[in-house]
């Protein structure tokens, strides 16, 4: 058996993935060092080192932070709070769905549904049938209760986006955490009951530590996928008002397709990747540290 | 002692009898509330435009809006593009990823940790956000006029989804005992035959669910579809994004279109859920 033959199995897959993801990424890194503005063909494309990065990172008059830091902070709070809500609500839902009641599979299917809905569809549906102040459920109910409905999308853009992200991603957490709960051996549950552990103890002292690894996996995958998401932002708040609900990928998108500034967009994209990797790495280290403890 | 235990058991049974109905109500209440936006969207697609203006749950259902949307040439074009992308992306992803993950699980390379290294490389490409690659892709697509051809987006989708299939299939292939493969090798089976006649039949369900998962991902994918297509090649998520400007207008049309756009993914998604958990968690534990 020739050993080289095994390469033939892997090579086509490597080739297409490399051409579609790695090569463009390396090119993006190269672009990020260029002065290249599609809207200014009069300026020649020129190597300018780290100037594009400095454009975003530089703090000219100190206490006032430039926009990049606001958007960075928005990205962190948006993703962070979504992940925390997803983990907490996802854990509670999983505890509920772990009960043996008639029709539990239907309940599981209902909770899981939102995860498989395309973000642009769920975004416009929430926007028009629920958040709309005149025609939506929110507006109608608020009026019936005697409140004046405010336009949530412009007054609480971050809240709305975190809410919608959480609605979409909690099912994913349930999927993974529930699998963890069902993997807890039956004798652990039995001895827990015999020892007379109450609900609180059994849930948070016994079950939670046993499925901690599943929560970490869900958090890591959630982070990877949620940071990428810009369709939902585009259809609901379009980043607005102003830049108040931008996240980094959305800022990159606007820099290319509205600003036409390839160099700066490249620099922003590179920083987005670095920050995502830092986040994933942080979670991975936390998970590993915990694993060593137990 | 014996009596005590019996007493405890009956108490437990009584407790359970009271608890079950209460829990059922709570769980179903939460589940239905959680699903309600999709449910309401589904209901509204059976309304006329006039009925849809005010949010009501009870009305006389009609199929007019749904059939209007389905016979709309515009919508039909997007639907056709989406089906094209889903079908061919899934097909080519499986075609490329099955041999790759098979070789990563059982193949032998010159250096020792090559398998693991290639596997990790595939995983890291999943980490890459699409915005980090969109600029060069967009300029290539402009230059070679791929925007107007469905094959452009198809190639991009294959490149982006092969790593996910490799990731999922790797955990399934790893379940196949090495001894079976080795036995086949001793019997003179070529690598290709080992894969097609032994390993693939053993992990049929895994392949099926990885395929379905990719189908759902591609069906829902927005960012690449939005930036790398033109009017004639755009997919359903791009069509749905067009409704973002219509403040409370054409709610019935919107709901009918989203029902068509959402239903297949939700149904296929439900079918994959079990293997999805296995593929993702196992892969993540190792990666």
- Pick the more confident residue, B236 or B69: B236
Q: In terms of CA atoms, which chain A residue is nearest residue B164?
A: A17
**Which residues in A lie closer than 8 A to residue B195 (C-beta atoms)?**
9
Subunit contact A101:B127, Cβ cutoff 8 A: no
Q: Give the pLDDT score at B18.
A: 82
Flag if A228 and B129 touch (Cβ within 8 Å): yes
- Domain ranges within chain A, ordered by starting residue: 67-293
| A249 contacts in chain B (CB < 8 Å) | 129-131
In 3D, which of B23, B134, B195 has the Cα closest to residue A254? B134
- Residues A12 and A141: their CA atoms lie apart, in Å, by 56
Per-residue model confidence (pLDDT) at position B99: 92
Q: What is the ipTM of this complex?
A: 0.85
Q: What is the mean pLDDT of residues A7-18?
A: 89
At A49-91, the pLDDT tens digits run: 777 887 888 777 777 778 888 889 999 999 999 999 999 999 9
* pLDDT reading at B244 higher than 60: yes
Q: What is the mean pLDDT of residues A176-181?
A: 87
Quote the minimal CA–CA distance from B153 to chain A in Å: 11
CB–CB of A253 and B134 under 8 A?
A: yes
User: What size, in residues, is chain B?
Assistant: 287
* Cβ(B147)–Cβ(B156) below 8 Å: no
Q: Phi/psi of residue A133, each to 5°?
A: -75, -25
pLDDT of residue B158: 94
A12 contact residues in B (CB cutoff 8 A): 96, 99-100
Q: Nearest by CB to B160, which of A20, A96, A277?
A: A20
Helix axis angle for A212-228 and A262-293, nearest 10°, is 180
Q: Give pLDDT tens digits for A125-166.
A: 898 888 887 778 888 888 888 888 888 888 888 999 999 999
Across residues B16-44, what is the average pLDDT? 89
Rounded CA-CA distance A233/A24 in Å is 24
Which residues of chain A neighbour B109 with C-beta distances below 8 Å? 3, 6-7
Instruction: Give the CA distances from residue B40 to residues A9, A62, A126, B151, B238, in Å, rounded to whole numbers and listed in that order.
Output: 48, 50, 10, 36, 22
pLDDT of residue B282: 64
CATH 2.60.40.10 fits A67-293, yes or no: no
Phi/psi at A49 (5° precision) = 65, -130
Q: Which pLDDT band, with edges at 50, 70 and 90, does B248 fall under? A: low
Q: How many CB atoms lie within 10 A of CB A3?
A: 10
User: Is the CB of A115 less than 8 angstroms away from the CB of B269?
Assistant: yes
B72-286 CATH pick, 2.30.40.10, 1.10.3720.10, 3.30.1020.10, 3.20.20.70: 1.10.3720.10
């Amino acid at each position: 058996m020739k050993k080289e033959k095994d390469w033939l199995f892997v090579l086509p897959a490597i080739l297409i993935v490399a051409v579609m993801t790695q090569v463009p990424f390396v090119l993006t890194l190269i672009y990020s060092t260029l002065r290249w503005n599609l809207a200014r063909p009069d300026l020649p494309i020129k190597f300018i080192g780290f100037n594009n990065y400095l454009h975003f990172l530089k703090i000219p008059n100190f206490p006032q932070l430039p926009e990049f830091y606001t958007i960075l902070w928005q990205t962190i709070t948006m993703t962070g709070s979504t992940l925390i809500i997803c983990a907490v609500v996802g854990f509670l839902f999983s505890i509920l769905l772990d009960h043996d009641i008639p029709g539990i599979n239907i309940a599981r299917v209902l909770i899981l549904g939102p995860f498989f809905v395309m973000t642009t569809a769920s975004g416009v549906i929430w926007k028009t049938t629920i958040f709309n102040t005149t025609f939506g459920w929110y507006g109608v109910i608020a009026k019936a209760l005697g409140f004046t409905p405010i336009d949530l999308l412009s007054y609480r853009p971050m809240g709305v986006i975190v809410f919608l992200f959480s609605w979409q991603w909690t099912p994913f957490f349930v999927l993974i955490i529930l699998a963890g709960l069902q993997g807890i051996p039956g004798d652990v549950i039995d001895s827990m009951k015999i020892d007379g552990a109450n609900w609180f103890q059994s849930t948070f002292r016994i079950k939670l530590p046993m499925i901690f690894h599943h929560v970490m996996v869900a958090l890591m995958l959630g982070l990877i996928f949620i940071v990428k998401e810009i369709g939902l932002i585009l259809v609901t708040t379009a980043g607005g008002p102003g830049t108040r609900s931008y996240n980094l990928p959305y800022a990159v998108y606007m820099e290319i397709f509205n600003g036409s500034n390839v160099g700066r967009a490249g620099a922003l994209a590179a920083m987005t990747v670095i920050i995502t990797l830092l986040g994933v790495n942080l979670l991975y280290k936390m998970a590993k540290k915990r694993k060593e403890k137990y | 002692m014996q009596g005590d235990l019996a007493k405890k058991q009956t108490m437990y049974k009584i407790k359970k009898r009271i608890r079950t109905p209460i829990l059922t109500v709570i769980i179903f209440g939460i589940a239905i509330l959680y699903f309600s936006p999709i449910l309401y969207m589904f209901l509204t697609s059976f309304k006329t435009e006039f009925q849809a203006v005010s949010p009501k749950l009870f009305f006389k259902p009609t199929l007019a809006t749904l059939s209007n949307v389905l016979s709309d040439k515009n919508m039909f074009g997007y639907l056709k593009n989406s089906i094209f992308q889903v079908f061919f992306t899934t097909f080519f992803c499986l075609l490329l990823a099955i041999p790759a993950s098979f070789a990563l699980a059982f193949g032998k390379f010159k250096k020792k940790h090559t398998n693991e290294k290639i596997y990790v490389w595939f995983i890291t490409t999943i980490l890459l956000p699409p915005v980090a690659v969109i600029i060069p892709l967009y300029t290539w697509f402009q230059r070679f006029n791929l925007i107007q051809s469905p094959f452009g987006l198809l190639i991009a989708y294959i490149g982006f989804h092969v790593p996910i299939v490799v990731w999922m299939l790797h955990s399934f292939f790893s379940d196949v005992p090495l001894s079976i493969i080795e036995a086949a090798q001793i019997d003179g089976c070529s690598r290709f035959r080992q894969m097609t006649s032994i390993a693939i039949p053993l992990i049929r369900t895994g392949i099926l669910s990885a395929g379905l998962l990719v189908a759902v991902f591609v069906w829902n994918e927005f960012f690449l579809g939005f930036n790398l297509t033109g009017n004639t090649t755009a997919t359903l998520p791009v069509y749905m994004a067009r409704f973002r400007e219509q403040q409370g207008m054409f709610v019935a049309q919107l709901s009918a279109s989203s029902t068509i756009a959402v239903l297949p993914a939700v149904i296929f998604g439900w079918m994959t859920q079990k293997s999805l958990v296995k593929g993702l968690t196992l892969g993540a534990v190792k990666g």
